[in-house]
Amino acid sequence: MLPKLDPTDRAILAALQSDASQSLDSIAERLNVSLNTVWRRVRRLETEAVIEKRVALIDNEKIGLPLTAFVQIRTDNHSEEWASDLTAAVNAIPEIVEFYRLAGDVDYILKMMIASVADYDRVYQQLISRVQIYNVSASFAMEKLKFTTELPL
């Protein structure tokens, strides 16, 4: 199931997940392989969807969303239907950027990017207006100490 990745593939992935604006040429030179090789590997990694997409990362503070909040959700309703309602509600709210179902005590965790604590309430109201939630607890980030989209290879 997992695509085979040799050291060259991994080096290319490492390069592109760190900086996707660099030219294939410069990667080829750094890895001591031909441009053509890099190009073919990248194309393969894209068709296999190892590379999901290329995106620009935007500074959340510069666009007026300095606050990150984590919200833990517990439910007393473990039906499929409730779960898919919650997922649909979350997907409709762009401030919620991550959402996971958890093992254990807390059922779900989500992360939201917001302007302020008042803005948290606005998003929270949006969420609970769409789906019945049993128990919510929010934690606000005082300081972002690390954030990266780079995965270890």
Partner DNA sequence: TTTGAAATGGATTCGGC
Partner DNA sequence: GCCGAATCCATTTCAAA
Q: Which is nearer to a second copy, 98 or 121 (by Cβ)? A: 98
| Residue 35 binding DNA, by CB under 7 A | yes
User: Residues near 122 by Cβ (< 8 Å), separated by ≥ 6?
Assistant: none
Residues 9-38, interacting with a second copy (CB under 8 A): 13, 16-21
Closest by CA position to 130, among listed 80, 93, 101, 99: 93
23 binds DNA (CB under 7 A): yes
Helix (H, G, I), strand (E, B) or coil at 95: coil
Candidates 39-47, 49-57, 87-95, 138-146; binding stretch for DNA (CB under 7 A): 39-47
Element of type H or E holding 72: strand 67-74
Given a contact cutoff of 8 angstroms between Cβ atoms, the answer to whether 90 and 96 are in contact is yes
Q: Minimal CA–CA distance to 14: which of 2, 29, 31, 1?
A: 31
Q: Which is nearer to a second copy, 36 or 139 (CB)?
A: 139
> C-alpha distances in angstroms, 15 versus 11, 72, 131, 147, 151?
6, 35, 42, 17, 11
For residues 103 and 118, which CB has a smaller minimum distance to a second copy in the complex? 103
Q: Report the alpha-carbon distance of residue 119 to residue 73 in Å, rounded.
A: 18
Binding residue for a second copy, selected from 6, 79, 100, 118, defined by CB under 8 A = 100
Q: Which position among 18, 34, 84, 132 is part of the footprint of DNA (CB under 7 A)? A: 34
Binding mask of the shown chain, residues 57 to 96, with x at each position contacting a second copy by CB under 8 A: xxxx-xxxx--x-x----------------x--xx--xxx
Which residues lie near DNA (CB under 7 A)? 23-25, 33-37, 39-40, 42-43
